[in-house]
Each structure stands twice: as structure tokens, then as C-alpha cells.
Structure 1
């Protein structure tokens, strides 16, 4: 029961934040058709790949506009974030391993959420603010 509640919260938070983005719309469509845990994980893997490409594009876009210390700080921050992401997912994987197939779905949702959020954070650097999600 506890796992079902956590997964419901994860699913709703991952898809409710910005449905207007193409990767999120594709994820919603994919999840509507998914009937197995494997299919659900594949949906999240595809969305994760799309958001990873967006994150990399946003990072490169920012790096082209920055110079000197600001560029160095962003590079260091992104490297630190990559290390954080990997550490977080490793810690989650070890804890969720005991939760069977639902644990794998929760891990997929977490991975997507981390990458998606970082892509939006990088995007916000160019816009100056993400106080309003419509601005990002």
C-alpha cells in the first residue's frame, strides 16, 4: 500500500508539472498505452533520453553565451550535478531493489525527474527566472 501511494505521487508529479512540453506529452501518451512494468519503464527511458538531449542542448546554449568565471562556474556546477544524479540514483537503486518491479518504476521516475528538472534549471538561466513555470 505504501509503495502504491509513493508511486502515485511520483507519477503525478512527473507528468503534471509541464504537460505542454513535447517529451511530457509523449510520455503521457506512452503511459496510456503501457500495460506492463517493462513497457512503463521503456516509456520513462524514452522520456529520460529526450530530456537528457534537452538538458545537453540547454547546457551547450548557456556555455556559448558565457565567458570567464561564469562559464567555469556553470561547468563546475553541471559536473557536480552529474555526480549528484549518479549518487542519488545509486542510493535509490540500493533502497528500491527490495521493492520488486514497482521499485524499478520508481527509479525510472526519479531518473526522469532529475534530468527534467536540470534541463529546466539550465533553461531558466537564459530566461532569468522560472518563478512562473510558463516562463521556462
Structure 2
């Protein structure tokens, strides 16, 4: 009986977490999608839609970093802080490579959109990771 209750609680927590994650993704991703699906949109406008989405994911990242800062014990936060510094160094180097690759080696404005989308995904993935850490504090 105890195992059954544990299993049910596990499935419920996974379901609740997945719903919460989907809702947040939808707010930013739906806004970007709506922006990208305008009639007669130029590649420059498409790029700007993705840049705005990346900025929104960056705001989410900062929101969850600060929430974790306020909730984590000092030693755990110091570990997160170091991890975040290392991630930022990775992000900056990856952004530099993406820019060099797509803006210098590839031809055509569509590659600008691909580059910005890849940069957005890097920030989005980190924001979702920090959100997951924060949400798991209550379990």
C-alpha cells in the first residue's frame, strides 16, 4: 500500500510539474510564435521576434536565480552562483561562435534567424533548469 501511494504521488508531481513548465513555455513561446506568424514578415522582423523571446527567457532565468538565492541555504547558493558564472562563460563563448559561424561563414539573412534561435535556446534551457530547481524545493 505504501508503494502504491508513493507511486501515485510521484505521478501527480510529474504531472503538476509538466503542466507548470508547459504554461511558462507557452507564455514566451506563444508570444514569439504569434510574432513570427504575422503576415508579410521580413527576416529582420523575424529575427527581432526571436531576440525578444531570448530577452524574455533571460528575464525568467534571472527571476528563478533570484528566487533560488532567497530560498537556498548559503552553501547551496554559493554552489549555484559558481555554476551560474561558469554557465555565463559558456554562454558568452557559444554566442561568439554562433555569431562567427552564422554571420561570417554563411550567406543569406535566414542564417541570422537561425543564429538568434540557437542563442535563445541556450538561455531558455538554462531558465527552465533554474525553474525546475526552484520548483523542486517544495517536493
Indicate the TM-score class for this superposition, using the shorter chain for normalisation.
Answer: 0.7 to 0.9
Q: Take 1:31 and 1:102, find their aligned partners in 2: how far apart are those partners?
A: 13
Instruction: Spell out, residue by residue over 1:74-128, the C-alpha distance to the aligned partner (whole angstroms, 9 max, x if none).
Output: 0011111111111001111111122231221111101110111111000010223
Instruction: Spell out, residue by residue over 1:17-72, the C-alpha distance to the aligned partner (whole angstroms, 9 max, x if none).
Output: 95752111100100001621100011001111111111100000001111222111
Partner of 2:48: 42
Greater Cα radius of gyration, structure 1 or 2:
2
1:68 aligns with 2:93: no
5+ residue gaps, structure 2: 1-20
- Counterpart of 1:113 (choices 107, 121, 127) is 121
Aligned length: 113
The answer (yes or no) to whether the contact 1:52–1:119 under 8 Å persists in 2 is yes
Does the residue aligned with 2:41 lie in a helix, a strand or coil?
coil
Change (3 A) 1:46 1:82: same
TM score, norm. by length of structure 2: 0.75
Q: Take 1:51 and 1:114, find their aligned partners in 2: how far apart are those partners?
A: 10
Does the residue aligned with 1:35 lie in a helix, a strand or coil?
coil
Does the residue aligned with 1:21 lie in a helix, a strand or coil?
helix
Question: Deviating runs (4+, > 3 A) in structure 1?
Answer: 17-20
- Cα RMSD of the aligned pairs, angstroms, is 1.9
5+ residue gaps, structure 1: 1-16, 130-136
